[in-house]
Chains A and B, each alone.
Chain A
Amino acid sequence: MPIFRDREYLRVELEKSQDESLWMQCKACGELVFKRRVRENNNICPNCGEYFFLTAPERIESLIDEGTFVDISQPIVAGDPLGFVDSKPYPERIEAVQERTGLPSAILIATAEMDEMAVLMAVMDFRFVGGSMGSVVGEQMCYGMEQAMERGIPFILISSSGGARIQEGMYSLMQMAKTAAVRERLAARHVPFISVMAYPTTGGVQASIASLGDIIIAERGALIGFAGRRVIRDTTGEDLPANFQTDTFAFERGFIDRVVNRENLRGELIHVVRFFQRAEKRD
């Protein structure tokens, strides 16, 4: 059943039927596992516990009360302000990835309920040009925060992004400043902001909005950092530890509040949302 509001440009259905095979191989343990079992298990390998990648719709489905999803994303899609062409023109790249993912952009903005409490959710999808943040992602995030303020409900961002979108040049870089600016308004209005860092939360997204949550939770297995391994090695020649930029690396150094297993994420978010609901009632 499609849980997304029916819009011409946005036809997202949770049941993706393009892939007909019933079995998949786990990239970690190599075991052939039954796809439906994996899906029912929060996309975690039933054999070894490896996390498979979650799309934005799957992520939302895994967190919210059934049937409470309302897509409130702005009806916008990427422009091509620089007329950018690398191996192909940027608009063609966008069209191809829209076709492949069924998503208009790398982020979905939604209202939903979690244990009957209203929340505003911004969920990124790594399949969409690496979840990169260009004008659309930045705008949707800001719109999401503004809606959270207007409705007086917590803002939950689930990041899965390689960073700024190169093809929109300086417009992308500026989204870092833009999202940080709107985040300040959210703080001034005492609207709770819970930032969930999923695999991966890196580059311009880690160096802006994702690191500005009141509470920052990493999903186990997340990659968290600013500069990539390759860049660091090319620039400094440093040997990097095996746990570099992992969830534990970030946790041990105090970047994040908690590391949470996927199956516990909904429960922990509900706990935090409920806490702030009570905290608000007190004043």
Chain B
Amino acid sequence: MSDERTLDLLEAKIRELQELNKIDGMDLHAEITKLEAKLEDLRVALYADLSDWDRVKIARHAKRPYACDYFENVFTDFYELHGDRFAGDDRALVTGLARLDNKPVVVMGQQKGRSTEENKERFFGMPRPQGYRKAQRILRLAERFDLPVISLVDTAGAYPGLESESGNIGGAIAQNLALMSHLRVPIVVCVVGEGGSGGALAIGVGDRILMLENATFSVISPEGAAAILWKDKERIREAAEALQLTAGKLLELGLIDEVIPEPLGGAHKDWPSVFESVRTALIRHIDQMESIPRDQLVESRYLRYRGIGEFRTLAEA
């Protein structure tokens, strides 16, 4: 979105005029109002028609709220729990206890870093096997004490490296999928940023799948698809369109349940409003499921996943 620079320039210009306006004898009010109106028009025009690739970039925006920001602001009494009890504590996947609307819940989510230092510690939000195994431990804890699970998805994918592969990252993901498919408590998944492939799905199985408006969920990154299918890393825009990875398209396909609107330009523009929207949606879904008998809950979840697939049926010959 190189046009965003025009917005930045205009904003800077307005600030400059406002400073000048403070100087005695200068009345720039008319000028400022005109520019502000122009800025608003530009902003609406720019963000009204976002391409899928634009949304991928917003989903990855460095100033977007991350999982821990939600844990601290949407919930109360967030109390982090660490470690898989075996290999270590994966800082890329944060788990803990919290209260939502004063009710106890279990939370988990992938956490990206804000600085180079933090990203080193958090592996850029890409979990290793110990992260998924920590999630398993926390899911079992939730089931034992009949606590709803809220899982916030935001990862480019599971960490691809020797350490991950040595720890059977694929096996860890598989076990998460199996566990979440039949866990006897309500699970609400909200994709708040990037939903990158198996590493995202590994904490993304549930009774309700929500996505923020500019979040993405995809079998492969547009970069990966461009490289593999088009053999051309430059064709990421085309790949992003083809994959149908935006919240809006996935809702149309019936693969997710709800799209949570974001402020104009993306969640990074106004954190408090995003927290409020997410909070309202989570409370609504958790409340809806509270009284559903657990057998029925698990059965509905099973039928939901069992039914996913699009194919052509041929007449018997």
B166, B181, B219, B312: the one contacting A173 at CB < 8 Å is B219
Which A residues touch B218, using CB under 8 A?
A: 169-170, 173
Which chain A positions have C-beta within 8 A of B228?
Answer: 166
Contact check, B245 vs A171: say whether CB atoms are below 8 A apart.
no
Contacts of A236 in B (CB 8 A): 160-162
Q: Which residues of B contact A147 (CB under 8 A)?
A: none
Least Cβ–Cβ distance between B228 and chain A, in angstroms: 7
- Which B residues between 177 and 229 are near A, CB-CB below 8 angstroms? 177-178, 180-182, 197-198, 201-202, 204-205, 217-220, 224-225, 228-229
Asked if B230 contacts A86 (CB within 8 A), the reply is: yes
Q: Is the CB of B309 within 8 A of A178?
A: yes
Within the complex, the shortest CB–CB distance from A65 to chain B, in Å, comes to 27
Assess whether B173 is in contact with A226, with CB atoms less than 8 Å apart. yes
Please provide the chain A residues from 202 to 227 with a CB less than 8 Å away from any CB of chain B in the complex. Answer: 202-204, 206-212, 225-227
Of B166, B167, B225, B313, which one neighbours A76 at CB under 8 angstroms?
Answer: B313
CB pair A238–B161 under 8 Å, yes or no, is: yes
Does B35 interact with chain A (Cβ within 8 Å)? no
Q: How far is the CA of A79 from the CA of B309 in the complex (A)?
A: 9
Hey, which chain B residues are within 8 Å of A74, CB to CB? Answer: 313
Please give the distance in Å from B300's CB to the nearest CB on chain A.
12
A82 and B217 within 8 A (CB): no
Contact with A along B220-251 (1 / 0, CB 8 A): 10001100111100000000001111000010
A202 to B170, CA, bound (A): 8
B73 touches A (CB below 8 Å): no
Instruction: Give Cα distance in the complex from A53 to B231, angstroms.
Output: 25
Q: Is the CB of A78 within 8 A of B312?
A: yes
Answer whether residue B305 sits at the interface, using C-beta atoms and an 8 A cutoff: yes
Q: Which residues of A contact B169 (CB under 8 A)?
A: 207, 226-227
User: A228 to nearest B CB, angstroms?
Assistant: 8
Within B110-140, the residues touching A (CB, 8 Å) are none
| Chain B residues near A206 (CB-CB < 8 A) | 170-171, 174
* Most B CB within 10 A of own CB, among A86, A212, A244: A86
A240 → chain B, closest Cβ, in Å?
6
Q: Does B33 contact A (CB under 8 A)?
A: no
Q: For the complex, is B310 an interface residue (Cβ under 8 Å from A)? A: yes
Known: A207-B169, A207-B198. Is A235-B160 also a contact (CB below 8 A)? yes
Query: B30 at the A/B interface (Cβ < 8 Å)?
Result: no
A241–B316 Cα distance when bound, in Å, is 50
Say if the beta carbon of A245 comes within 8 Å of chain B.
yes
- In the complex, whether B165 has a CB less than 8 A from a CB of chain A is yes
B197: which A residues are within 8 A, CB to CB? Answer: 164, 173, 204
**How distant is the Cα of A250 from the Cα of B168 in the complex, in angstroms?**
8
Chain B residues with CB under 8 A of A208: 173-174, 177, 198
Residue of B nearest to A255 (CB): B168
Q: Assuming the A-B contacts A87-B230, A166-B219, A226-B173, are A8 and B164 also in contact, with contact meaning beta carbons closer than 8 angstroms in the complex? A: no
B140 to chain A, nearest CB (A): 14
Q: Does any Cβ of A come within 8 Å of B145's Cβ?
A: no
Bound Cα distance from A184 to B302, whole angstroms: 10
Q: A77-B314, A174-B305 are in contact. Are A212 and B219 (CB under 8 A)?
A: no
Closest B residue to A81 by beta carbon equals B310
Q: Is the CB of B244 within 8 A of A226?
A: no
Complex Cα distance A79/B205, Å? Answer: 24
State whether B162 touches A232 (Cβ < 8 A): yes
Q: Specify which chain B residues have a CB less than 8 angstroms from the CB of A85 in the assembled complex.
A: 242
Assembly CA distance A118 to B157 (angstroms): 40
B158 at the interface (CB under 8 A from A): yes
A171 nearest CB neighbor, chain B only: B310
Assess the A204–B162 pair: CB atoms within 8 A: no
- A-B residue pairs in contact (CB < 8 Å), sample of 9: A74-B313, A75-B315, A170-B245, A173-B198, A176-B201, A178-B309, A212-B174, A245-B165, A255-B171
Q: Which 3 A-B pairs have the closest CB atoms?
A: A8-B317, A227-B160, A135-B309
Known: A139-B311, A173-B218. 5 other contacts (CB 8 A): A75-B315, A84-B242, A85-B242, A138-B309, A206-B170
Q: Which residues of B contact A (CB under 8 A)?
A: 157-158, 160-162, 164-171, 173-175, 177-178, 180-182, 197-198, 201-202, 204-205, 217-220, 224-225, 228-231, 242-245, 250, 253, 255, 301-302, 305-306, 308-317
